A and B are shown apart, each in its own frame.
Chain A
Amino acid sequence: MTQVVSSSRVKAFSPGLRSSAREIHTPRVIWWNVSWLSIGSAMGLSALGIAAISTTGQGFAMRQMVFVCLGVIVAALVTIPHYRILQRLSYPFMLVTLGLLMFVLVKFVPDFLVRPRNGSRRWINLGFTDFQPSEVAKIAYILCLATYLRFRSNYRSLFGLLMLLGLTFIPLGLVLKEPDLGTSLLFLPTLFAMLIAAGARKRHIALIITLGLSIAPLTYPFLEPHQKDRIDALLAQIKGDSRYEDDIGYQGARAMTLAGAGGVFGVGKEKAAELLKYNHLPEDHNDMVFAVVCCRWGMMGAIATWVLFGVFALGGLLTAGLCKDPFGRLVAVGIVAAMFAQMVINTGMNIGLLPITGMTLPFVSYGGSSMVTTWLMVGLLMSIAMRRSQYMARQSFEFDDADQA
Chain B
Amino acid sequence: MEPARAGYGSWVDFVNPQRFIPSMFHRRLVLLMVVCVVLILGMSGQMVRLSVVESADRLASAESKLEERTFLPTTRGRILDRKDRVLALDKASSDIAVEYDVITGVWPRDQAVSQTKKEVGRARWSAMSPEERQKAVSAHVPEWQAKVDRMWAEICRVGGISPLELQKRIDRIKQDVQNKAADIWARQLKEEREKYGVPDDEEYDDFKARPIREQTTPHVILPRVSDDIAYAFKRFDQQNPDMLAVIDSRKREYPWSGADVRLGRNSLPRPIRNDAPVSIRVTGVADHILGAMRDEVWAEDVERRPFLNSRTLKVADLGGYREGDVVGSRGVEKVFEDTLRGLRGQVNTRKDTGLKNRIEPVSGKDLQLTIDIMLQTRVQAILTPEYGLAKVQPWQHNEGQGMPPGMPLNAAAVVLDVQTGEILAMVSMPTFAMGQMMSPEQQKLDQPVVNRPVEAVYPPGSIIKPLVLSAAVTEGAHNLDSSITCTGHYFENNLKIARCWIFRDKYGMVGHGPLQAAEALARSCNMFFFTLADRLGMERLCKWYRRFGLGGALDVGLSYESKGDDGKVTVIGESAGDVPGEKEFAEMKAKGEGKFSQIIMGIGQGPVTWTPLQAANAYATLARGGVIRDATLLMSDPRGTRPQRTADLHLSKHLVDVALEGLRESVMERFGTGNHFGYDDKSEEAIINAQGVQVWAKTGTAQSDVRKLRDHSWFVGLVGPKDATRPMQAIAVIVENGGSGGRTAGPIANQIIRALQAEGYLPGDANAPVIDKNHPASSEPQPDPSDEHQEDH
Contact between chains at A196 and B51 (CB < 8 Å): no
Residues of B within 8 A of A256 (CB): 50, 58
A154 within 8 A of B: no
B40 x A351 contact (CB < 8 A): no
Task: Decide if A275 touches B66 in the complex (CB within 8 Å).
Answer: yes
Do B65 and A4 have beta carbons less than 8 Å apart?
Answer: no
| Identity of the chain A residue whose Cβ is nearest the Cβ of B21 in the assembled complex | A321
| A245 to B331 Cα, complex, angstroms | 37
- Are A404's CB and B18's CB within 8 A? yes
Flag whether A71 is at the interface (Cβ < 8 A). no
Q: A26 an interface residue at 8 Å Cβ cutoff? A: no
Min CB distance, B24 to chain A, in Å? 5
Q: With an 8 A cutoff between CB atoms, is B299 at the interface?
A: no
Q: CA of A294 to CA of B781 in the docked complex: distance in angstroms?
A: 100
Also in contact, A401 and B63, with CB within 8 A (given A317-B29, A317-B33, A348-B43):
no
Residue B591 CB within 8 A of the other chain: no
Q: Mark B46-57, 1 if CB is under 8 A from A, else 0.
A: 111011101101
Contacts of A8 in B (CB 8 A): 22-23
> B733 CB to closest chain A CB, in angstroms?
54
In the complex, chain A residues 327-364 whose Cβ is within 8 Å of any chain B Cβ: 329, 333, 336-337, 340, 344, 347-348, 351-353
Question: How far is A399 from B24 in the complex, measured between Cα atoms in Å?
Answer: 7
Asked if residues B32 and A257 are in contact (CB atoms below 8 Å), the reply is no
State whether A398 and B33 are in contact (beta carbons under 8 Å apart), knowing that A264-B51, A306-B43, A310-B40 are contacts in the complex: no
Q: Is the CB of B66 within 8 A of A333?
A: no
**Minimal beta-carbon separation of B65 from chain A (angstroms):** 4
Complex CA gap A54/B26 in Å reads 41
Contact B62 A258 (CB under 8 A): yes
Give the segment of A17-25, A93-101, A132-140, A295-303 that binds chain B.
A295-303
Cα–Cα, bound, A267→B65 (Å): 16
A residues near B199, Cβ cutoff 8 Å: none
Overall SS of chain B's interface: helix
> Within the complex, what minimum Cβ distance (angstroms) separates B788 from chain A?
63
Among A294, A307, A404, the residue within 8 A (CB) of B51 is: A294
Contacts of B40 in A (CB 8 A): 306-307, 309-310
- Which residues does chain B contribute within 8 Å of A310, judged by CB atoms? 36-37, 40
A257-B61, A294-B51 as given contacts; A405 in contact with B1, CB under 8 Å: yes
* Chain A, Cβ-Cβ closest to B59: A261
Chain A hits for B43, CB < 8 A:
306, 344, 347-348, 351, 353
- Are B1 and A1 in contact (CB-based, < 8 A)? yes
Give A329's nearest chain B residue, CB to CB: B25
CA distance A317 to B47 in the complex (A): 26
Distance to closest chain B CB from A374 (angstroms): 17
Given the complex of chains A and B, what is the CA–CA distance between A260 and B52 in angstroms? 8
Expressed in whole angstroms, the Cα–Cα distance for A71 and B284 within the complex equals: 81
Q: Does B146 contact A (CB under 8 A)?
A: no
A263 within 8 A of B: yes
Neighbouring B residues of A4 by C-beta, 8 Å: 18, 22
Q: With A260-B50, A279-B62 known to touch, is A404 a contact of B24 (CB < 8 Å)? A: yes
Q: Is the CB of B46 within 8 A of A197?
A: no
Q: Which residues of A contact B352 (CB under 8 A)?
A: 274, 278
Which among A228, A264, A303, A351 is the interface contact of B55 at CB below 8 angstroms?
Answer: A264
Interface size class of B (residues with CB under 8 A): 35 or more
Interface residues in B7-23 (C-beta closer than 8 Å to A): 12, 16, 18, 22-23
- Nearest CB in chain A to that of B45: its residue: A353
Contacts of B400 in A (CB 8 A): none
Which listed residue (A199, A242, A303) contacts B28, Cβ 8 A? A199
Q: How far is the CB of A29 from chain B (nearest CB, A)?
A: 23
Q: Which of B22, B26, B32, B192 has the most CB of A within 10 A?
A: B32
Once the chains bind, are B24 and A398 in contact (CB under 8 Å)? yes
Question: Residue A402 at the B interface, CB < 8 A?
Answer: yes
**CB-based contact B32/A264 at 8 Å:** no
Instruction: Using A257-B61, A321-B26, A398-B23 as known contacts, say yes or no to A263 and B46 having CB atoms under 8 A apart.
Output: no
Instruction: Write the B310-337 contact mask toward A (1 if CB under 8 angstroms, else 0).
Output: 1100000000000000000000000000
Q: A250 CA to B409 CA in the complex, in Å? A: 60
With contacts A257-B58, A260-B59, A302-B51 known, is A402 near B1, CB below 8 A?
A: yes
The size of the chain A interface, using a CB distance under 8 A, is 62
Is B351's CB within 8 Å of the partner chain A? yes
Return A368 CB to nearest CB of chain B, in Å: 22
**In the assembly, what is the distance between CA of A387 and CA of B416, in Å?**
105
Question: Nearest Cβ in chain B — how far from A22, in angstroms?
Answer: 27
The verdict on B197 contacting chain A, using a C-beta distance below 8 Å, is yes
Closest to B208 in A: A225
Residues of chain B within 8 A (CB-CB) of A377 are none
A303:B44 contact, CB within 8 angstroms? yes
A67–B574 CA distance with the chains assembled, in angstroms: 76
Residues in A whose Cβ lies below 8 Å from that of B311: 240, 242
A1 to B16 CA separation, bound complex (whole angstroms): 12
Instruction: Flag whether B27 is at the interface (Cβ < 8 A).
Output: yes
* Chain B positions 186-203 with a Cβ under 8 Å from a chain A Cβ: 192, 195-197
B31 within 8 A of A: yes
Instruction: For the complex, give the distance between the alpha carbons of A309 and B33 in Å.
Output: 11
Contact present for B65 and A279 (CB under 8 Å): yes
Once the chains bind, are B58 and A260 in contact (CB under 8 Å)? yes
B565 lies within 8 A of chain A by Cβ:
no
Query: B257 to chain A: closest CB distance in Å?
Result: 41
- Give the docked Cα–Cα distance between A172 and B597 (Å): 85
B55-114 interface (Cβ within 8 A of A): 55, 57-59, 61-63, 65-66
A333 and B32 in contact, given A260-B51, A344-B39, A397-B24 (Cβ under 8 angstroms): yes
Is the C-beta of A369 less than 8 angstroms from some C-beta in chain B?
A: no
B48-A299 in contact (CB<8A):
yes
A264 engages B196 (CB within 8 Å): no
Kindly provide the distance from the CB of B389 to the nearest chain A CB, expressed in whole angstroms: 58
Distance A318 CA – B747 CA, assembled complex (angstroms): 107
Interface residues of A in 226-251 (CB under 8 A from B): 228, 240, 242
B492 at the binding interface (Cβ < 8 Å): no
A336 to B31 CA separation, bound complex (whole angstroms) = 13
Across the interface, do A196 and B32 meet the contact criterion of CB distance under 8 Å? yes
Indicate if B206 sits at the interface (CB-CB under 8 A). Answer: yes
Residue of B nearest to A278 (CB): B65
Inter-chain contact B46/A261, CB cutoff 8 Å: no
B51-A228 in contact (CB<8A): no
Residues of B contacting A404 in the complex (Cβ-Cβ under 8 angstroms):
18, 24, 27
Q: Are B25 and A197 in contact (CB under 8 A)?
A: yes
A262 to B55 CA separation, bound complex (whole angstroms): 7
CB proximity to A under 8 Å, residues B145-204: 192, 195-197
Identity of the chain A residue whose Cβ is nearest the Cβ of B55 in the assembled complex: A263
Report the Cα distance A228→B735, complex, angstroms: 63
Chain B hits for A405, CB < 8 A: 1, 12, 16
Please indicate the chain A residues that have their CB under 8 angstroms from the CB of B27 in the complex. Answer: 404
> Separation in Å of the B53 CB from the closest CB of chain A?
9
Instruction: For the complex, give the distance between the alpha carbons of A329 and B28 in Å.
Output: 12
> 1/0 contact trace for A1-18 toward B, CB 8 Å?
100100010000000000
Interfacial chain A residues near B32, Cβ < 8 Å: 193, 196-197, 313, 317, 333, 336-337
Most buried by B among A278, A310, A397: A278
- Residues in B with CB closer than 8 Å to A396 are 25
Enumerate 27 A-B pairs (CB-CB under 8 Å) in ascending A order: A1-B1, A1-B5, A8-B23, A193-B32, A196-B31, A221-B197, A258-B62, A259-B47, A260-B51, A260-B58, A263-B52, A267-B59, A274-B66, A278-B66, A294-B47, A294-B51, A299-B52, A307-B40, A313-B32, A314-B33, A317-B33, A336-B32, A340-B36, A344-B43, A351-B50, A396-B25, A404-B24
- B-to-A contact residues, CB < 8 Å: 1, 5, 12, 16, 18, 22-29, 31-33, 36-37, 39-40, 43-44, 46-48, 50-52, 54-55, 57-59, 61-63, 65-66, 192, 195-197, 206, 310-311, 351-352
Question: Can you add 18 more A-B contacts, CB < 8 Å, to A303-B47, A317-B32, A404-B27?
Answer: A4-B22, A196-B28, A225-B192, A257-B58, A258-B62, A260-B50, A261-B63, A264-B51, A274-B66, A278-B65, A294-B47, A302-B47, A333-B29, A337-B32, A344-B43, A351-B50, A405-B1, A405-B12
